[in-house]
A and B are shown apart, each in its own frame.
Chain A
Amino acid sequence: MSAIHLGVEGVTRRFGGLTAVNDVSFALGEGDVLSLIGPNGAGKTTLFNILTGQLAPSAGKVVFDGTDITGHRPNQRAWLGLGRTFQISQTLTSLTVLENAMIGTFLRHPRIADAADWAYAALERVGLASRAREEASHLTLGERRRLEVARALGLEPRLLLLDEVMAGLNQTEVTRIVDLVLALNADGQTIIVIEHNLKVVRIFSKRVLVLDRGKMIADGGADSVLQDPVVVEAYVGKKKQ
């Protein structure tokens, strides 16, 4: 039984009258891959933002490797080993591909030559090493997503959060990223993914957590959760893949 890596306890977030995240609790061990799914507006990205520090919860706490990080700023969490990508790709457009990756590696390697080396390694893992010198703004969407993963990898994260990293991509790009995620997990990386594509979810998650209107309605193995009538009902009327 691996030690509890990430503990989410009673996390709630309200925006005025709207409760976006409602008393969500779960625990994650090292090496797990967890998929966070749910219909649009269920609160998945809000939950991510609470985990990584862009938002503070209205109630509850987040514990990472034994440290209560509820009040920590995002950069402090990155330091502790939490890396993430964003739903809308946040590439640094005035920099090159390599420099984008370096923004991640600088955290652990302050010297510019070291940061560059490690950035190269991160780019190699995501398959972008050949584009290192190019302007990041020239990349396609799929490539930008992978670049963002490379930047997050540069932090040498103990936990990686991927927010809809496959949204809007074509089949080839999706396959590429799926392979990447599988490879990362095979290397021992703990990952939480927000994903809409249920086929993909089946491929790489042993565990699935379902949010609907802020509440957690299921948490278990992929097969059982995806067949759970409560979950299916939450998705009725929404896209099913």
Chain B
Amino acid sequence: MSNLDLAQSGHMHAGASTKRRATDDIWTVSKELPIFIGVVAAIALAIYLLSGQFFYLNLLTMALLFGGLAVSWNIIGGFGGQFSIAHSVFFAIGAYTAGNLYKHFDISPWISILPAMVLSAAVAAVVSWPVFRLRGPFFAIATMALTEVAIAFAMHWKTVTGGASGLTIPYRAGLENMIFTQRWAYAALFLGYLAATLVVSIVILRSRLGYYLQAVRDNDKAAEASGIPIMRTKLKGMAISAALTGVGGVFFMMYVRIVEPAGLLSLFDVGVKIALIALIGGIGTIYGPLLGALILVPLDYWLRAFIGSAIPGGNLIVLGIILILGSLYMKKGVFGALKQGYAAWRPKR
């Protein structure tokens, strides 16, 4: 690589040249910025082009939501290697917080974002602290159990959640209520959410926390011996991931305006789906989860519409096959496969 040759020839003694060279060799936030802006701009363009087509716009909006949720999940699930299926709980916390504050206290959802984040992060920290010492699948099972507990409590706690019949909020259009008359505004809103999660994801990955999460994921024995506080690192990652997921719940609440426990907390429709999206797109990369959402959300819809109607459960059969084949052959996801293909195609040094 010409970069390295330059660095090597200029390197002989330490000094200002060393500093420049060191950061040359790793990605930093500033290097990531152009890509980020490009991605957001491309999606914004897509929203503009689709603004009249409600069907596709809705699909894109949901894809952006799940993209944001998957990017948030990825912070602890991909970077941290902690395979949580409980993120639907934080999603629900966000939705119920915003919904209740809006319905009963007329508080703008924009303001509710803060308590939603705090509550999600707090719950995440409390429940994952005992569960983090478990490895891999045990951790996943524990998070499944947590989701079941949450569903039971949500059904039971009717004053907050409305029980099985759900929580409905009144339609009062206006920016301060996060309720829009134009559909493209929602798409833009969710693009904003996605962009926010991407920014956080980028900043974390290129920070000490990001490296520590990856070290803990790859080899926690070596990580701890290198001075990394394992529990604290995992908790930080989890809290941030949960907070962002909660924000997604806030936006979702204002988009659909009616939620009920089975839909919000559903293991398959939310909890596993988020992780699946990240897997298919590429766990542990920044844009992988977004790619996964752009693939999976329309695919899921298409499967439901065309196969699910003809054969009951047919869409899930296909999804099951994708899951099995994906875990066998595409562990790094589409993004990972693309990266590998790109690296193979590029001329070697």
Please determine if A and B sit in direct contact within the complex, based on CB atoms under 8 angstroms apart. Answer: yes
Are A94 and B26 interface neighbours, CB within 8 A?
no
Interface residues of B (CB under 8 A from A): 1, 4, 8, 14, 18-19, 21-23, 25-26, 28, 206-208, 211-212, 214-215, 217-219, 221-230, 284
Instruction: Give complex CA distance A78, B229 in Å.
Output: 10
Are B218 and A113 interface neighbours, CB within 8 A?
no
Q: Does A67 contact B (CB under 8 A)?
A: no
Contact of A95 among B206, B214, B228 (CB under 8 A): B214
Are A117 and B211 interface neighbours, CB within 8 A?
no
Are A112 and B207 interface neighbours, CB within 8 A?
yes
Contact of A79 among B19, B215, B219, B227 (CB under 8 A): B227
In the assembled complex, how far is the CB of residue B288 from the closest CB belonging to chain A, in whole angstroms?
A: 14
Contact of B1 among A83, A115, A133, A154 (CB under 8 A): A133
In the assembled complex, how far is the CB of residue A214 from the closest CB belonging to chain B, in whole angstroms?
A: 23
Instruction: Give complex CA distance A110, B212 in Å.
Output: 11
In the complex, chain B residues whose CB is within 8 Å of the CB of A107: 226-228
Are A116 and B226 interface neighbours, CB within 8 A?
no
Contact of A75 among B208, B211, B228 (CB under 8 A): B228
Instruction: Map CB proximity to B onto A176-194 as digits: 1 under 8 Å, 0 otherwise.
Output: 0000000000000000000
In the complex, chain B residues whose CB is within 8 Å of the CB of A52: 225
7 closest cross-chain pairs (CB), A and B: A78-B227, A90-B222, A107-B227, A116-B22, A74-B224, A92-B218, A117-B22
In the complex, chain A residues whose CB is within 8 Å of the CB of B230: 75
For residue A109, which residue of chain B has the nearest CB? B208
Instruction: Give complex CA distance A66, B14 in Å.
Output: 36
- Offer 6 A-B interface pairs, CB within 8 angstroms, sorted by A: A75-B225, A91-B219, A92-B214, A103-B223, A106-B208, A116-B25
In the complex, chain B residues whose CB is within 8 Å of the CB of A151: 222, 226
Instruction: Give complex CA distance A133, B219 in Å.
Output: 20
Are A112 and B4 interface neighbours, CB within 8 A?
no
Task: Identify whether the interface residues of B are mostly helix, strand, loop, or mixed.
Answer: helix
Are B225 and A78 interface neighbours, CB within 8 A?
yes
In the complex, chain B residues whose CB is within 8 Å of the CB of A224: none
Assuming A94-B214, A106-B212, is B22 touching A120 (CB within 8 A)? yes
Are B22 and A130 interface neighbours, CB within 8 A?
no
Assuming A103-B211, A113-B23, is B224 touching A75 (CB within 8 A)? yes
Are A104 and B226 interface neighbours, CB within 8 A?
yes
Assuming A117-B22, A133-B4, A155-B226, is B206 touching A112 (CB within 8 A)? yes
In the complex, chain A residues whose CB is within 8 Å of the CB of B1: 133
Are B227 and A92 interface neighbours, CB within 8 A?
no
Q: Does A204 contact B (CB under 8 A)?
A: no
Instruction: Give complex CA distance A152, B227 in Å.
Output: 10
In the complex, chain A residues whose CB is within 8 Å of the CB of B208: 106, 110-112, 115
In the assembled complex, how far is the CB of residue A205 from the closest CB belonging to chain B, in whole angstroms?
A: 23
Instruction: Give complex CA distance A187, B206 in Å.
Output: 33
Instruction: Give complex CA distance A40, B218 in Å.
Output: 29
Q: Does A98 contact B (CB under 8 A)?
A: yes
In the complex, chain B residues whose CB is within 8 Å of the CB of A217: none
Assuming A113-B22, A155-B226, is B221 touching A106 (CB within 8 A)? no
Are B22 and A103 interface neighbours, CB within 8 A?
no
Q: Does A99 contact B (CB under 8 A)?
A: yes
